[in-house]
């Protein structure tokens, strides 16, 4: 027992962060956590929580299993707006004695540190606590905000630093924990977590995640949910009225898992299920292990937006298996994932679609970078004084994926695929920094072929702003043709009705709308008459169209702008629409009026983001 404990401690000192001596990589220090894992490290979490929709609280206990380096240090945890009631410490997990603790000052971005004085030999710390109704990582929905309109709904969103608003924990992606949970819910509802199901009876649900994961992947949802299988280890959860449509849309899930396994090795999480959330979910998707959370806005009816599932599934390797150690290394998660997403799309739906998606990404990146301050264009992000949620631009995603694609094109696909597979095996279930990734890349790929490596300016790619001249450029012939149509329509040399859009897929439509020069309202009216864009059921096309409509002050689209902003809380859609509205005085009035009605329906994370665009004191 003693020897085993020592071995564990030694291992954790080697991978720890914070002090000079024990630090393999000084950049591993996480500025977004108050935790002290280099001294006292949380290894496991056992939750027992009761879900109260009346109070909008999770209340109960978290028992943290810890490793202690020296025995002198307190345990430091992250919290945000938690009500801490009592803390006990235990040597063996059986008998507990009360411990002293204090909550420090609340920082706007980080929340407040919780310091627990632990007696020598402490292995477990039990915290009795409640979350607050305004917890940033939880959204409590009224029945009216769900598809079924009968039952309330709760879901968590822990990435980036919101786990601390519902669990007292070392909330850093460099600290991995196993977890168990017992969740008590109203009897008619179902609880789901990013973990294996261990039991479900009469409003009591048990879960276990037995491989260590970072805190941002701990996830919970409670609602009127049903399941439909998609394959031996895949399936979809959704509210009953959404389930059939969702299951049809995502019927290729099993194929996707098989495709990515052939590329990068076994899927290591057992099941891969999808949970369709109500439309206020602030993201497209969230890669919670075993159970991706997804927005219903990707259900287009024709599978044209399922790239989102490829993306979240890809995170099962790049992100969940090999994790960014700090939020400055976020591009390791998203850049590699965006690359792999595209490989899955290619494997399942063919090269033409994959190339179109690459080209669309590149166009969007170029547009976005044009207005972006240089420091924000760097892959390894400096997030000093910033909320990591603000780093969700095309830089970590698309610039990151272009770096990986450059490696692929330079060293060849077979070599790159073999390299990535070895990378995932080597760092499986670890959190690593950019430096660690680059060291491995040099050792295992670049140094073996120096003449090819000379074509990869690493420093420029990872630490400098801008898009390097060595960036791969994807040309999609189909999209080039569409882009010409857009130009021709824009300059009046082509009428709306003569545009050959009959066979266009979603990606071609998106290219057309993106490639249009600034239009006047009558031109939008012509397009609308020919193609009924204001009425489209495809959320991506609609979002793009509504942005153009606001720019051109195309009045017939305003009711749809309002309806969309009231229904959907996905930040990718609502932020650009509010931003566009805020550009004119009339638009500002419109934005404020809509936001006054919509704000209460949005997730706390989306509220924070839109507050910055529209202002929080809406009338």
What does the binding site for Zn ion look like in residue numbers (CB under 5 A)?
334, 337
| CB of residue 68 to Zn ion, shortest distance in Å | 35
Distance in Å, CB of 443 to ligand BES, minimum: 28
CA distance 222 to 239: 11
Which residues lie across from 373 on neighbouring strands?
none
Q: Which of ligand BES, Zn ion, none does residue 394 bind (CB under 5 to 8 Å by kind)?
A: none
d(CA 170, CA 41): 8
Tell which one of 131, 159, 215, 523 touches ligand BES (CB under 6 A). 159
Bridge partners (DSSP) of residue 578 are none
340 binds ligand BES, rule: CB under 6 A: no
Q: How many residues does the chain have?
A: 619
Of 228, 392, 393, 430, the one binding ligand BES (CB under 6 A) is: 392
Nearest CB to Zn ion, comparing residues 263 and 521: 263
Closest to ligand BES by CB, 224 vs 389, is: 389
Q: Looking at 38, 239, 287, 312, which residue is catalytic?
A: 312
CA distances from 286 to 165, 236, 414, 590 (A): 18, 14, 30, 31
Nearer to ligand BES, 160 or 539 (CB): 160
Which residues pair with residue 405 across a beta bridge?
none
279 or 284: whose CB is closer to ligand BES?
Answer: 284
20 catalytic residue (yes or no): no
Q: How far is the CB of 389 from ligand BES (least distance, A)?
A: 5
| Distance between CA atoms of residues 342 and 377, nearest Å | 22
The residues, any chain, with a CB within 8 Å of residue 459's CB and separated by 6 or more, are none
Residue in 129, 397, 423, 558 annotated catalytic: 397
What is the Cα–Cα distance from 540 to 530, expressed in whole angstroms?
19
- Binding at 572: pick from ligand BES, Zn ion, none (beta carbon under 5-8 Å per type): ligand BES
Residues in binding contact with ligand BES, number by CB under 6 A: 15
Please report where in the chains the tokens 């330079």 appear, as a residue: 410
State which of residues 206, 273, 312, 528 lies at the interface with ligand BES (CB under 6 A): 312
How far is 37 from 460, CA to CA, in rounded Å?
A: 32
User: How far is it, in rounded angstroms, from Cα 558 to Cα 551?
Assistant: 11
Backbone φ, ψ for residue 178 (5° rounding): -90, 155
Q: Which of residues 319-338 bind ligand BES (CB under 6 A)?
A: 334
Told to judge if 312 belongs to the known catalytic residues of this protein, a careful annotator would answer: yes
Please, what is the minimum distance in Å from the beta carbon of residue 259 to Zn ion?
A: 18
Among Zn ion, ligand BES, none, partner that 286 touches (CB below 5 to 8 angstroms by kind): ligand BES
Cβ closer to ligand BES: 75 or 605?
A: 605
153 versus 339: smaller Cβ distance to Zn ion: 339
C-alpha distances in Å from residue 521, one per residue of 214, 525, 555, 570 = 49, 6, 8, 27
DSSP class per residue in 19-41: STTT-S-GGG--TT----TTTEE
Q: Are 472 and 405 in contact (CB under 8 A)?
A: yes
Residue 392 binding: pick among Zn ion, ligand BES, none (C-beta 5-8 Å cut-off by kind): ligand BES
Q: Which is nearer to ligand BES, 68 or 356 (CB)?
A: 356
Nearest distance, CB of residue 334 and Zn ion, angstroms: 5
Complex with Zn ion: residue 171 or 334, whichever CB lies closer: 334
Q: Does 455 bind ligand BES (CB under 6 A)?
A: no
State yes or no: residue 38 binds ligand BES (CB under 6 A): no
Give Cα 572 to chain centroid, integer Å: 12
Residues 6 or more apart whose CB falls under 8 angstroms from that of 386 comprise 109
CB-based burial, 462-482: b 16+ in 10 Å, e otherwise = beebebeeebbebebebbeeb
Phi and psi angles of residue 129, each rounded to the nearest 5 degrees, phi first: -160, 175
CA–CA gap between residue 604 and residue 619 (Å, rounded): 18
Residues 308, 344, 407, 527: which binds ligand BES (CB under 6 A)? 308
Which one of 572, 575, 592, 599 is in contact with ligand BES (CB under 6 A)? 572
Query: Rounded CA gap, 481 and 494, in Å?
Result: 13
- What's the alpha-carbon Rg for the chain, to the nearest Å? 25
Residue from 311, 363, 399, 551 in contact with ligand BES (CB under 6 A)? 311
CB of 430 to ligand BES, least distance (A): 18
Closest CB 401 distance from Zn ion, rounded Å: 11
Token pair for residue 126? 């039990």
| Interaction partner, residue 159 (Zn ion, ligand BES, none; CB < 5-8 Å by kind) | ligand BES
- Which partner in Zn ion, ligand BES, none is near 285 (CB below 5 to 8 A by kind)? ligand BES
Nearest alpha carbon to residue 219 among 82, 47, 55, 75: 47
Residues that bind ligand BES (CB under 6 A): 159-160, 283-287, 308, 311-312, 315, 334, 389, 392, 572
Active site residues: 312, 397
């Amino acid at each position: 027992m003693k020897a085993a404990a020592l071995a564990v401690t030694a291992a954790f000192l080697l991978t720890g962060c914070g002090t000079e001596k024990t630090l393999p990589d000084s950049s591993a220090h996480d500025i977004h956590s108050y935790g002290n894992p280099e001294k006292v490290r949380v290894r496991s979490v056992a939750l027992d929580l009761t879900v109260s929709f009346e109070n909008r609280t999770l209340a109960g206990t978290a028992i943290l299993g810890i490793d202690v380096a020296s025995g002198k240090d307190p345990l430091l945890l992250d919290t945000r707006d938690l009500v801490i009631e009592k803390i006990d410490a235990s040597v063996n997990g059986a008998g507990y004695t009360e411990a002293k603790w204090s909550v420090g000052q609340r920082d706007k971005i980080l929340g407040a540190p919780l310091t627990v004085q632990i007696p020598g030999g402490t292995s477990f710390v039990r915290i009795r606590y409640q979350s607050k109704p305004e917890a940033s990582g939880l959204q409590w929905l009224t029945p009216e905000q769900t598809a079924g309109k009968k039952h309330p709904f709760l879901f968590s969103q822990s990435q980036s630093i919101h786990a601390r608003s519902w669990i007292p924990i070392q909330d850093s992606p460099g600290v991995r924990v196993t977890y168990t949970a017992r969740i008590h819910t109203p009897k008619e509802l179902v609880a789901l977590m990013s973990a294996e199901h261990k039991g479900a009876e009469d409003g009591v649900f048990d879960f276990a995640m037995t491989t260590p994961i970072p805190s941002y992947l701990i996830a919970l949802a409670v609602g009127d949910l049903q399941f439909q299988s998609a394959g031996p280890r895949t399936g979809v959860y959704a509210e009953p009225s959404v389930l059939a449509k969702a299951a049809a849309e995502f019927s290729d899930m099993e194929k996707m898992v098989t495709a990515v396994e052939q590329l990068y090795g076994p899927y290591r999480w057992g099941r891969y299920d999808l949970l369709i959330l109500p439309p206020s979910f602030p993201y497209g998707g969230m890669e919670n292990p075993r159970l991706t959370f997804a927005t219903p806005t990707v259900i287009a009816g024709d599978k044209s937006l399922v790239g989102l599932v490829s993306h979240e599934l890809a995170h099962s390797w790049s992100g969940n298996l090999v994790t960014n150690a700090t939020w400055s290394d976020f591009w390791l998660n998203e850049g590699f994932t965006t690359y792999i997403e595209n490989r899955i799309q290619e494997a399942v739906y063919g090269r033409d679609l994959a190339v179109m998606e690459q080209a669309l990404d590149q166009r969007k990146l170029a547009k976005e970078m044009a207005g972006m301050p240089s420091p924000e264009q760097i892959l390894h992000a400096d997030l000093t004084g910033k909320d990591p949620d603000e780093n969700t631009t095309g830089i970590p995603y698309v610039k990151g994926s272009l770096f990986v694609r450059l490696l692929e094109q330079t060293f060849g696909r077979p070599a790159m695929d073999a390299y990535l597979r070895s990378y995932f095996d080597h760092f499986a279930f670890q959190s690593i920094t950019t430096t660690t990734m680059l060291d491995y890349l040099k050792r295992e790929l670049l140094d073996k072929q120096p003449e090819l490596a000379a074509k990869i300016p690493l420093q420029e790619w990872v630490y400098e702003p801008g898009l390097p001249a060595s960036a791969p450029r994807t040309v999609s012939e189909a999209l080039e043709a569409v882009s010409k149509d857009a130009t021709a329509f824009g300059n009046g040399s082509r009428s709306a009705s003569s545009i050959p859009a009959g066979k266009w897929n979603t990606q071609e439509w998106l290219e057309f709308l993106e490639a249009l020069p600034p239009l006047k309202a009558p031109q939008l009216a012509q397009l609308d008459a020919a193609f009924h864009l204001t009425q489209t059921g495809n959320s991506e096309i609609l979002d793009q169209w509504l942005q153009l409509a606001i720019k051109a002050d195309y009045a017939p689209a305003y009711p749809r702008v309002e309806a969309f902003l009231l229904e959907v809380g996905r930040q990718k859609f609502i932020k650009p629409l509010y931003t566009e509205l805020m550009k004119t005085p009339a638009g500002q009035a419109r934005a404020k009026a809509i936001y006054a009605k919509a704000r209460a329906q949005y997730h706390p994370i989306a509220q924070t983001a839109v507050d910055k665009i529209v202002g929080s004191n809406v009338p």
